[in-house]
Amino acid sequence: MNCLLRWPEPVVRVQSLSESGISAIPARYIKPPSDRPSRNNTAATPTTKNFEATPINIPIINLQNLFSDDQSLCEETLGLISQACREWGFFQVVNHGVSHELMRRVREVWREFFHLPIEAKQEYANSPSTYEGYGSRLGVEKGAILDWSDYFFLHYMPQSLRNENKWPALPPSCRKLIGEYGEEVVKLCGRLMKVLSINLGLGEEYLQNAFGGDNIGACLRVNFYPKCPQPDLTLGLSPHSDPGGLTLLLPDENVSGLQVRKSNEWVTVDPAPNAFIVVSNAIYKSVDHRVIVNAAKDRVSLALFYNPKSDLLIEPAKELVTEDRPALYPPMTFDEYRLYIRTKGPCGKAQVESLKSPR
């Protein structure tokens, strides 16, 4: 595990590069041509006049009826979520119960954090042993091509890993807002876990219990994608699938950038006002996604990862495994799986494929 004690090369803050006024990005950030962003966000549909391209977007689901007394409204919502998980593995939720004001404030406080002088942020510089703190790369492979982003990573749950001293002390309201935001979003994750459990034909509490009950993990990664002078040559975040159970992403309200892979095309998500983007990872599909950057505006996003208790052995629900549908992967703990990603960095579906059981 020695390789995870320190970064293999001196850390360069992408934000400093961006602010230095360079007009060409360093070679370390230039992706091979096949990995560069394409901006086609559309599908040609023969139904539109002149075969015009129509924008496509991930489903937007209103959660208002979820716990409604009206059984049929509730079931309709469950059905929409089930379909979104199967077809996309990604959807947006509105009327989710989290205060819009809180969402706005937490995003703004993080934007302010990233605009503090570099010395204030360096205090929280992270190492690959836990990734907690202010970071600029994922993976410890020497000579790797890097992504155009900085981030801040912190543990919110379990309580035993939560250490507010590792959260930014500035801006002054930052810690308090992280606490409030974490509480609300974890609550929403709990509700969504019930929905996914029911949709899989398992008991309402099944997934939450399988994830360790009250001992689930929750981490926050705040991503900062600085302006990029050559956005067509690089990516803000390389293709990856999130390792945990569920991710709730609060995107920048003004700048898009997140792309989801759908039948080998990259679809840019158009964020709906006050919505969260839900990534239903471990269940149904853990979909590849990536982030593109642009020359005009920086972008802030907050990803809250809802993870299983870190030392529980993760394997498919017994109820879902049959002779025709055997388990695809050997059981492993979340700690083991995460270590693998933390060593290699984001590498698309190869991340999971290489772990498949021999058949």
- For the chain, what is the total number of helices (H) and then of strands (E)? 8, 16
DSSP H helices, 88-228, are: 100-114, 118-122, 174-199, 206-210
Residue 216's binding partner, choosing from ligand OGA, Ni ion, none, with beta-carbon cut-off 5 to 8 A by kind?
A: none
299-307 vs 289-291, strand pairing mode = unpaired
Residue 217, beta-bridge partner list: 307
- DSSP structural state of residue 101: H
User: In the bound complex, what is the minimum distance in angstroms from residue 355's beta carbon to ligand OGA?
Assistant: 19
Q: Which is nearer to Ni ion, 29 or 151 (CB)?
A: 151
Label residue 349 exposed, middle or buried (CB < 10 Å: 0-12, 13-18, 19+): middle
Considering only 184, 242, 288, 298, the residue that binds Ni ion (CB under 5 A) is 242
Residue 291's binding partner, choosing from Ni ion, ligand OGA, none, with beta-carbon cut-off 5 to 8 A by kind?
A: ligand OGA
User: In the bound complex, what is the minimum distance in angstroms from residue 13's beta carbon to ligand OGA?
Assistant: 17
Note whether 298 binds Ni ion by CB under 5 A. Answer: no
Q: Which is nearer to Ni ion, 147 or 242 (CB)?
A: 242
Residue 221's binding partner, choosing from Ni ion, ligand OGA, none, with beta-carbon cut-off 5 to 8 A by kind?
A: ligand OGA
User: In the bound complex, what is the minimum distance in angstroms from residue 279's beta carbon to ligand OGA?
Assistant: 7
Residue 278's binding partner, choosing from ligand OGA, Ni ion, none, with beta-carbon cut-off 5 to 8 A by kind?
A: none
User: In the bound complex, what is the minimum distance in angstroms from residue 227's beta carbon to ligand OGA?
Assistant: 15
Q: Which is nearer to ligand OGA, 134 or 206 (CB)?
A: 134
Residue 281's binding partner, choosing from Ni ion, ligand OGA, none, with beta-carbon cut-off 5 to 8 A by kind?
A: none
Applying CB under 6 A, the residues found at the interface with ligand OGA are: 221, 223, 237, 242, 249, 251, 257-258, 289, 291, 301, 303
Q: Which is nearer to ligand OGA, 59 or 203 (CB)?
A: 59
Cα 23 from chain centre = 29
Q: Which is nearer to ligand OGA, 13 or 289 (CB)?
A: 289
Q: Which is nearer to ligand OGA, 206 or 306 (CB)?
A: 306
Residue 223's binding partner, choosing from ligand OGA, Ni ion, none, with beta-carbon cut-off 5 to 8 A by kind?
A: ligand OGA
- DSSP structural state of residue 69: S
3-state helix, strand, coil in the chain (%, to 5): 30, 20, 45
Q: Spell out the residues 6+ positions from residue 314 whose beta carbon is closer than 8 angstroms to its own.
A: 282, 308, 331, 332, 333, 334, 337
Q: Which is nearer to Ni ion, 138 or 198 (CB)?
A: 138
* Backbone dihedral angles phi then psi of residue 81, each to the nearest 5 degrees: -70, -40
User: In the bound complex, what is the minimum distance in angstroms from residue 252's beta carbon to ligand OGA?
Assistant: 8
Do residues 255 and 303 touch, judged by C-beta distance below 8 A? no
Peptide bond into 59 cis (omega under 30): no
User: In the bound complex, what is the minimum distance in angstroms from residue 114's beta carbon to ligand OGA?
Assistant: 13
Query: Assign residue 281 a region: left if phi > 0, alpha if psi is -120 to 50, beta otherwise?
Result: alpha
- Residues that bind Ni ion in the complex, under the rule CB under 5 A: 242
